[in-house]
């Protein structure tokens, strides 16, 4: 496949996976069970942790050879800035965490379904940026191998987007009393990913020297989402073994994808 179309496919794939996950509302009669919720969110968390390390932080360090013994600096600072970016977003955007029942962001009269929708939309921003940075970096390198590595990240994000789409849409059914509206909310929560990917792609292409910083920035934002939202919402304390193994399996799968394609 031509590298341009490979990039388009990688961007579309992450949105399509969210949409397919949201479509589960038409096959489930009720919300996810607590065990299924733990498995889904734990698995997604494991993939994001592995993607942050294998697909973002390690390449950031490897591409910082000009810094000599200080080549860890872009990765460390970028990581912290990415996490800080998500803190700012958390403080500004009104949203609701279903798992903890906590509301964050500026005061707003938005309904609970809309705040739940915004919570998952926030999650998807760093994932889209990560995919965009990966393909932008591949465009700078220009090899098929680099594009395949970026595709591996896109596939990993898409795999974890499937349960995330379901995790958004299924609880919405009870709130909205409509499966079609719940599906629409779930699907639209993923539209921010290809948008963020396009932004990330052009940033990476235009700022080649900043590539290590950008990769680490995406990793920091993704790790923040995992620790701040996915793990608490998974309620690992209720099903510790299920949750732990879900995270481990998700991590292992993303690691395999990265090594096999990268």
In this prediction, residue 262 carries a pLDDT of 65
Per-residue HEC secondary structure of the chain comes to CCHHHHHHHHHHHHHHHHHHHHHHHHCCCCCCCHHHHHHHHHHHHHHHHHHHHHHHHHHHHHCCHHHHHHCCHHHHHHHHHHHHHHHHHHHHCCEEECCCCEEECCCCCCCHHHHHHHHHHHHHHHHHHHHHHHHHHHHHHCCHHHHHHHHHHHHHHHHHHHHHHHHHHHHHHHHHCCHHHHHHHHHHCCCHHHHHHHHHHHHHHHCHHHHHHHHHHHHHHHHHHHHHHHHHHHCCCCCHHHHHHHHHHHHHHHHHHHHHHC
Mean pLDDT rounded to a whole number for the chain? 88
Q: Choose the most confident range, by mean pLDDT, from 22-31, 62-71, 74-83.
A: 74-83
Residue 1 has pLDDT above 70, yes or no: no
| Prediction pTM value | 0.88
Residue 106 has pLDDT above 70, yes or no: yes
The 10s digit of each residue's pLDDT in 116-143 is: 778 778 888 999 999 999 999 999 888 8
Residue 151 has pLDDT above 80, yes or no: yes
The 10s digit of each residue's pLDDT in 211-244 is: 999 999 999 999 999 998 888 888 787 888 898 9
């Amino acid at each position: 496949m031509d590298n341009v179309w490979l990039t388009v496919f990688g961007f579309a794939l992450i949105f399509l996976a969210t949409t397919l996950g949201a479509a589960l509302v038409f096959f489930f009669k009720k919300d996810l069970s607590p065990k299924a919720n733990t498995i889904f969110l734990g698995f997604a968390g494991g993939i994001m942790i592995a993607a942050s390390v294998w697909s973002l932080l390690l390449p950031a360090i490897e591409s910082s050879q000009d810094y000599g013994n200080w080549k860890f600096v872009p990765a460390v600072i970028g990581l912290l800035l990415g996490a800080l970016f998500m803190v700012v977003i958390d403080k500004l955007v009104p949203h609701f965490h279903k798992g903890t029942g906590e509301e964050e962001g500026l005061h707003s009269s938005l309904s609970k379904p809309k705040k739940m929708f915004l919570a998952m939309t926030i999650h998807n921003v760093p994932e889209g940026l990560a995919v965009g940075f990966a393909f932008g970096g591949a465009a700078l390198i220009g090899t098929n191998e680099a594009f395949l590595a970026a595709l591996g990240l896109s596939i990993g994000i898409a795999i974890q987007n499937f349960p995330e789409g379901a995790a958004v849409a299924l609880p919405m059914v009870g709130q909205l009393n409509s499966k079609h509206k719940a599906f629409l909310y779930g699907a639209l929560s993923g539209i921010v990913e290809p948008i963020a990917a396009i932004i990330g792609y052009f940033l990476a292409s235009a700022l080649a020297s900043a590539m290590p910083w950008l990769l680490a920035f995406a990793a920091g934002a993704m790790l923040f989402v995992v620790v701040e939202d996915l793990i608490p919402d998974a309620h690992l304390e209720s099903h510790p073994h299920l949750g732990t193994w879900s995270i481990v399996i998700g991590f292992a799968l993303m690691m395999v994808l990265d090594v096999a394609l990268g």
